[in-house]
Amino acid sequence: MKYKILISLILMFLLTGCWNYRELNEIAVCTGIAIDKDDKNYVVSVLIANSKKPEVSSKEGEAQSSIYVGSGETITSALEIIDTKIPKELYLAHLDTVVISKDVAKEGVYKTIDFLLRNPNSRRQFYVVVSKEKKANDILKILSPLESFPSENIATNIQSSLQVESSIIEIKYNEYLKTLLEDGIEPVLTSVSVIGNTTAGEKIENIEESEADTYIKLDNAAIFRDDKFISFASTNETIAINMLTNRSKYTSLNFKCGSSYFVIQISYIKTKPKVKVVDDKIEYTFDVVTNASVGEDNCNMDLTNPKVIDNLTNQTVRQLHTILSESINAFKYEYKSDVLGLGQILYRNNPKYFNQVKDKWDSIYPNVKVNLNIKVKLKTKGAAENTVRGYLSEKQ
Amino acid sequence: MQKIDKKVTKVISYIRKMNGNSSDIVDRIIKIDNKKVAYVYLESVCSEDKISDFIMRSLSYDAKYKKNNLFENIFEYLKNTLYSSKYKIIDNYDELFTLIASGFTCVFVDGYDKSIVFETKATLDRGVSEPTSNSSIIGPKDSFTENHLINLGLIRKRIKDKNLYFEDMKIGRRTKTKVTIAYINDIAIKDKVAEVKNKLNEIDIDGILDSGYIKSFLIKQNQSTFPRIIAAERPDLVCGALLEGKIAILVENSPYVLVMPAILVNFFHSPEDYYQKSINASFTRFLRFIAFLLAVLGPGIYIALTTFNQELIPDQLLTSLAVQRSGVPFPTAIEIIIMIVSFEILKESDIRTPNPSGTAISIVGALILGEAAVNAGIVSPIVIIVVALTSICSLVFNDIEFISAIRWWRLGFMLFSATIGIVGFIVVLLLFMIKLCSIETLGVCYITPFSPFSKVGLQDSLIIKPRRDMKYRPSFLTNNIKRMGKKK
Amino acid sequence: MKNNNSLSNLEIGCITFFLTRCSYIGVTISLLAFLLKQDAWIGFLMGIIIGLIPLIMYLYIIKYKPDFNIFEIIESLFGKVIGKILIGIILVLIGYYTLMVFANVCYFIGSQFLHQTPIIVIAIAFMIPIVYGLFKGIKIIGRVSILLFIIAMILIFLLLIGLIPSADLNNIKPIFEHGFLNNIKDCLVFIFYNVLPLFVISVIPKDKNNSKSFNKYVIIFYLLSSFISLSTLIIILTVLGPDLAILYQYPEFHVLKQAQLIGFLNRLESILSMQWSFSFFITISVNLYFIVTAIKREVKKINIEKPIIVLLCLLLVIININILKNNTLGNEILLKYLPPFMLVGLLIVPFIIFIKIVLNSYKEKHISKS
């Protein structure tokens, strides 16, 4: 009995506690951050997700988002200035996206997002994107009719687009750090741009129309070298990065035939890299295996004929080969950045050699030889085995 | 130990004086063969027709006696020709009064210092009817009543084994209530029966009004919040327990029979689980287990998530919760406590109000707790959902003590979660488990079959095996483990 | 029916499970990843196999006289004076280990969950179930360990399913880059932290009826726990990659943030990490029981148990607060680099006991022959 009293006394001391105690209405849920720079200071905008809509009664909550801006010499001081503007405490655990402007990216991305590594609240599961506009701020302001918050808009956009095509890159903060830390691979980030008038996009009338005037579009990859932004890649190069690093499985190719197009959809991509070192000369071989199927047939081809199928397969292989080899050359000579991770592949298969040439990798990299070995398996999917036009022309 | 007088009139006046001349004493003197014979009874507990039958028969004494000369005296004659088969010969006044109060009639013959008492009890109870607290869907619908003999009969007619022993004792100085211990001799362990008997013999109290009085003597009251004795109203539950090796205690005037020892999984059982397909019954039991967890852990987790560890809540939910909570003045823990207290008051008032006004009051209560509180800005809507969920989950169980135990521990979880979040939740979870593991009744640990691991016990714990496959009795209750014999 | 105060084999097995798993948070995994990078799992695997040797030595010592606990065995072999010195050394080592584990807990919770709360609150909060459990006795702790084992296995299973889809085998690719011998040298890390502290099971009273399967249960649960830790290590290396695993202070916690179950539950790190608190609880309780039994034997008064428990716990809390106030360097030295030197004692002292037992049995055989 005496010990129960002792324990209860200790417990009473605990019950005064309010150290980490935060009620739900005391936190400002921050779902997006945009980082810009003007001359000397960083300009940081945060997107707060739980402000109330003014007309609705306070119990039926419809949340709306609001943006607050602060500037300071470091990111943390900018955030402190923002803290003085909002009556609640910033809470970063539900961060969805971080948008970095092009100019800041040119000077090095990591310095701006290092604070998210050390903040104990952040979960490091957000997307990092580069904005093609002058100000990253603008991206966070655009409202969209399909999602409640702009940051969520970007995040779900990335996830859903990757199911269909490969012209965007999905990178989360963890993967970005991994590519930074490892020797032999350079980071890439996806990019975002605004189509339409920015100031009109902030207003709620934008989403009340049936076709919104202003919206956000995800774009091609942004290529980095040594953590500094080099340039944006083209669509084909982005597709090449996705295919060769096993990041996505879907893409589609158009072939011209006369005045209309024939579309082949690729539904499965797997790449296996191999490397051989012969006399200080490094030679890579990428074995690319894909499954493809017919997407649109406007060219009146007879899909039951095996010869036609062979022809189509060869055309696809040739087209893929062109895309991939052009992109690889661009990475080697134009951007001079090892985004495909060739150094990492060398390290994994032959660590001793890589450790010797690690320091000179930048100069060795453009001289490596890359072979491509592409296999396409074309299956016709869907109910139709032939084209409607062909059937009609037969009837006539 | 005053002996009975030989003169009948003196006896009657003494009895009247003993009881302060109570209004329900009836006495009559009749003459048989020129000797005075008197009988006394309490009309509040006796049934008149049995007594009138005695009078009729005794008046035919003249014819029989004088004709056959069978008996030496009137005393022997009365003893041998009594209508009732339950009779006693007593010679002192104390025992006499206890028996009269139990519904016996006593007969005095002039010149003899002994008295014959025979039973003429009236039935003062409601008869066997449907159970009020553990209702049944399929299965027998009879329940115990306040009549001791009927209760014993309901058990005896189900278990016709010769090894079913009933042992009697009288407890309570003034009430002298009959308490019967029932057990099956070759299944139950003798040490346990002896321990129960010792504990009952030590009771020295004025009166026992219900079986609940005995509960605190059988186990020490402060030791645990969880109940260790089942109070059962259905005979099939008690008989099932007896067949496993448990001990049943029947108390006169109480429709609740105590069954010991009880383990935690017994509170998730209901007798109907054995009357349906085992897989459906397993699902229902698992559902009760989940209800238990929700009832105890629910508010604690809610408080921990919304005040300390908001990162566990998905995005959309978090923003809508945050907006909903914006006008509320109280911290979350106080909100929940206010709502729980209101709900408990509502439940209590629902039990006490008489039926006609019951519906209106519960409607008013629901309105108070629902829309009005939310609209007035006292609580946020999701707190109502959480409190309603826990309260409904706790009502799944039959035993009122179990529900109270859930209430106490729910409060403990809430307080610790409100202090340090999910770490506090883990701390109280550990305390809860230590507490559960340390409870022991009659040598049986409370969380058998999980902790002293017993494979046979698992077949009837949270899941149930088909009756065909249950070949052995659980060994923590009995040494005689073979349940079904092999038919050749 | 059962003896009072003796635990069944299953309960001792579950306690072994948690004892082995305790140090792997924040200590073993970070150290191994730091030393061996992507070969850390090979070092771990070798540690498991080589760690069976001290474990079998401990089991042999326990089997020597099954009715006595370890202090009586030591005193009967070496006589009172040397025996007390040896017991003293072991007590100091186990006490140091308990201190290290407790500091680890407070540090882990203080930096991941409650970063603004003063450490003393976390320390007191954790002490409450430990004190309560010790008051009730070792038998209750044994029963609790079975329940905790069931919950821990469910959580571990969910963890593994949630993380396997994000594993990428390429991250552990260059195997044996660091050479075979380096692996063996660094696998001693595993042995010092996870196997040697298993010495405390020698003080738990055993069930006399099933003493034959005692060894079997201990070894099975040891292997089970080690392989689960090994699979977690492999998952950490394949999901995060060796570089990130070194960057983060508690990589096993960060990898949980990427766990995704049934497609939509993806914020489960606090719940899935509950099982570490369980192993901390059991380890500290059993270690303190060890120390309390030794002190009780010395003092021989009846009612001294409860005040000793409270005193020891308060001592732990106070020392911890003073350690954790210092800078990170002191912390690192005290918690990461000094323990192997201290814990070697837990290898040497039982070895001495083992040799004495072998010599004794050889002498007895010789005497009985002649």
Phi, psi of A275 (to 5 degrees): -140, 145
Half-sphere exposure at residue B346, Cβ-oriented, CA atoms within 13 angstroms = 20
* Contact by Cβ (8 Å): B51, B41: yes
- Do the domain assignments include residue A327? yes
Residue B248 clears pLDDT 90, i.e. is over it: yes
Count: domains in chain A:
1
Set of chain A residues whose Cβ sits within 8 Å of the Cβ of B331: 23
Looking at residue B6, its pLDDT comes to 76
Cross-strand pairs, B248: B182, B259
- pLDDT score at C112: 80
Between chains, do A24 and B375 touch, taking CB under 8 Å as contact? no
Contact B325 A24 (CB under 8 A): yes
| Minimal Cβ distance to A19: which of C117, C124, C177 | C117
Give the one of B420, B422, B437 whose C-beta lies nearest to C144's C-beta: B437
Digit-coded pLDDT (tens) for A134-163: 788 888 888 777 777 888 888 888 888 877
- What residue ranges do the domains of chain C occupy? 9-369
CA distance C24 to A298: 62
Scan for tokens 């219900």, then name that residue: B210
Of B314, B437, B445, nearest to C267 by CB-CB distance is: B314
- The residue extents of the domains of chain B are 8-119, 148-262, 278-444
CATH of the domain at A290: 3.30.300.210
| Confidence band, pLDDT 50/70/90 cuts, at residue C66 | confident
| pLDDT, tens only, C30-54 | 777 777 777 788 888 888 888 888 8
CA dist B12 and B36 (Å) reads 12
Q: Which two tokens stand for residue C292?
A: 């309390």
Closest residue in A to B320 (Cα–Cα): A61
pLDDT in tens, B170-193: 888 888 888 999 999 888 888 889
What Cα–Cα distance (Å) separates residue B272 from each residue in B234, B248, B278, B395, B466? 11, 20, 10, 18, 13
**Residue B448 carries which side chain, given as an amino acid letter?**
T
pLDDT of residue B454 exceeding 90, the answer is: no
pLDDT of residue B287: 92
CATH H-level superfamily of C9-369: Amino acid/polyamine transporter I (1.20.1740.10)
Rounded Cα–Cα distance for residues B256 and B250 (Å): 8
Kindly tell me the burial class for residue B154, based on how many C-beta atoms sit within 10 Å of its own C-beta (0-12, 13-18, 19 or more).
buried
Q: Is residue A343 part of a domain?
A: yes
- Interface touch C247/A181, C-beta < 8 Å: yes
**Sole residue written with tokens 């539904």:** A267
* Closest chain C residue to the Cα of A8, Cα to Cα: C128
Q: Per-residue pLDDT averaged across C22-30, rounded?
A: 76
Q: In what order do the strands lie in the sheet with A369-379?
A: A251-257, A260-278, A281-297, A369-379
Q: What pLDDT is stored for residue A10 in this prediction? A: 60
Question: Average pLDDT of A250-263?
Answer: 79
Q: What per-residue confidence (pLDDT) applies to A51? A: 72
Which pLDDT score, from 0 to 100, does residue C4 have? 66
User: Which residues, in sequence order, are CB contacts of A199 under 8 Å at separation 6+?
Assistant: none
| Total residues belonging to chain A | 396
DSSP C248-282: SSSHHHHHHTT--BTTTB---HHHHTHHHHHHHHH
> Is the model's pLDDT at C158 over the cut of 80?
yes
Report yes or no: C369 at the A interface, CB cutoff 8 Å.
no
Percent of chain B beyond pLDDT 70? 92
pLDDT band for position A396 (cuts 50, 70, 90): very low
User: Whole-angstrom Cα distance, residue C112 to residue A120?
Assistant: 6
Q: Do A20 and C177 touch (CB under 8 A)?
A: no
User: Which run of H or E residues covers position C102?
Assistant: helix C80-112
What local confidence, expressed as pLDDT, does residue B62 receive? 57
ipTM score of complex: 0.90
Write out B63-87 in H/E/C secondary structure.
HHHHHHCCCCCHHHHHHHCCCCCCE
Q: In this structure, is residue A64 part of a structural domain? A: no
Does pLDDT of B249 surpass 90?
Answer: yes
CA atoms within 13 A on the CB side of B455: 2
Most confident of B300-304, B350-354, C191-195: B300-304
Does any domain span residue A391? no
Contact status, residue B115 vs residue B90, Cβ threshold 8 Å: yes
Are β-strands A127-131 and A97-101 bridged in parallel, bridged antiparallel, or unpaired?
parallel
**pLDDT of amino acid A181:** 83
Has residue A84 been placed in a domain? no
Confidence band (pLDDT; 50, 70, 90) for C220? very high
A285 inside domain: yes
- Whether residue A14 has pLDDT greater than 60: no
Contacts of A22 in chain B (CB under 8 A): 307-308, 310
> Which other chains touch chain B, taking contact as 3+ CB pairs less than 8 Å apart?
A, C
* pLDDT score of B195 more than 80: yes
- Average pLDDT score over chain A: 80
Please give the single-letter amino acid code of residue C25. I
Taking an 8 Å cut-off on Cβ atoms, the answer to whether C114 and A7 are in contact is: no
The DSSP annotation for B288-307 comes to HHHHHHHHHHHHHHHHHHHH
